[in-house]
Amino acid sequence: MSDRHRNADSVWPRLHPSSLLERGRTLVDSQRGRAIRRNPHLRLGGGIVCLLAIVSIVGPVITPYDPSAQALEARLQGPSVAHPLGTDALGRDVATRLVYGARISLALALVATTVRLVIGTTIGLIAGYGGGVVDAIVMRVVDIQLAFPGLVLALVIAGVLGPSLTNVIIALSVVGWATYARVVRGSVLSVKDRAYVESARLYGTPRRRIARRHLLPTILNPVLVLATLNLGTVVLAAAGLSFLGLGAQPPTAEWGTMIADGRTYLRSAPWLITVPGVAIAVTVIAFNLLGDGLRDVLDPDHLEDRERRRT
């Protein structure tokens, strides 16, 4: 074999499409990793969310108190060594109830957001990829749903169904799916006529496989960002419904219920409202920071536009 052929063989592996594709993926992953490390919003929001998750999982195991056990001799005590965040009107430890409330609030937000995501993504895929009459009908339903204020509609649904955490999840899921449907439909419309989708269609690939292999990967990033931002919204809305008596019922330890129980003692025991209120605010801010950071990492165009506006 000549030197020319040997040189060609030695160069070929570097020029092989699979090798170039692998190098491209490695480059994108390294760039994304650097973006994650350099993004303060993502690190701060993710750190707070991870801390909340750890507290909600580990806290109930290590706390020495029962969140529902009453101790009237210790009612309305201020922060102390025995009760770091004080006690409520029934002598229950506020710190313990706060930890149990974190578990309920995070679990409720995760379930409601997941239901929203599944329903909205499915309907958005059907509308965007189906087109025609199906798209027109589905989007008119979405427009009608979005015409109602979300919290008011959730109040109506929860009031009709009755006060319970399950009904809160149903109400918040029914209210929020339309936003996902609109985002997914827009993403599908932007890619469904591209060459690789048309090639798969002409090749005879089933529609379900095209949607799963070619359309779903393009909508994952915006849907993930939207879901992260929605988690904070759901936490706030669920606390509001519980505050109004439509969510968790006593003696369940839930942040909105804790605020409702403590409003009578606003002047004599302000920690009863301050502690769960700060917890709700920190949780919502953390999810917003996490969603903003994920948008910067997963959507480089958005980050470039923001940097351009700054300069």
What tens-digit pLDDT sequence spans the chain (311 residues)? Answer: 454 444 444 444 444 434 433 444 454 445 555 556 667 888 898 899 999 999 989 988 888 888 888 888 888 888 888 889 989 989 999 999 999 999 999 999 999 999 999 999 989 888 887 778 888 898 898 888 888 888 888 889 988 998 888 999 999 988 889 999 998 888 888 877 777 677 767 777 777 777 777 777 778 888 888 999 999 999 999 999 999 888 888 888 899 999 999 988 888 889 999 999 999 999 999 999 998 888 877 765 555 555 555 55
Rounded Cα gap, residues 211 and 216, in angstroms = 6
**Tokens found for residue 204:** 């005879």
Q: Which residues contact 266 (CB under 8 A, 6 or more apart)?
A: 272, 273
Count Cβ atoms below 10 Å from residue 253 Cβ, excluding itself: 26
Q: Which amino acid is at 176?
A: G
Cβ of 274: how many Cβ atoms within 10 Å? 16
182 contacts 124 by C-beta, under 8 angstroms: yes
CA distance 253 to 249: 9
Instruction: Give me the pLDDT at residue 72, please.
Output: 86
The whole-number pLDDT of residue 8 equals: 43
For position 27, what pLDDT does the model report? 41
> What pLDDT score was predicted for residue 293?
86
pLDDT of residue 128: 84
Asked if 231 and 176 touch (Cβ cutoff 8 Å), the reply is no
pLDDT of residue 188: 84
Query: What pLDDT was estimated at residue 117?
Result: 92
pTM: 0.80
pLDDT at 195: 74
Q: What is the pLDDT of residue 33?
A: 55
Burial 124-156 (b: 16+ CB within 10 A, else e): bbbbbbeeeeebeebbeebeebeeeebbebbbe
Residues paired with residue 93 on neighbouring β-strands, in sequence order: 87
Bridge partners for 285 per DSSP: none
The residue with tokens 């040189």 is 7
CA angle, residues 147, 152, 156, in degrees to nearest 5: 110
Contact between residue 83 and residue 77 where contact means Cβ atoms under 8 Å apart: yes
CA distance linking residue 125 with residue 177, whole number of Å:
13
Say if residues 102 and 284 touch (Cβ distance below 8 Å): no
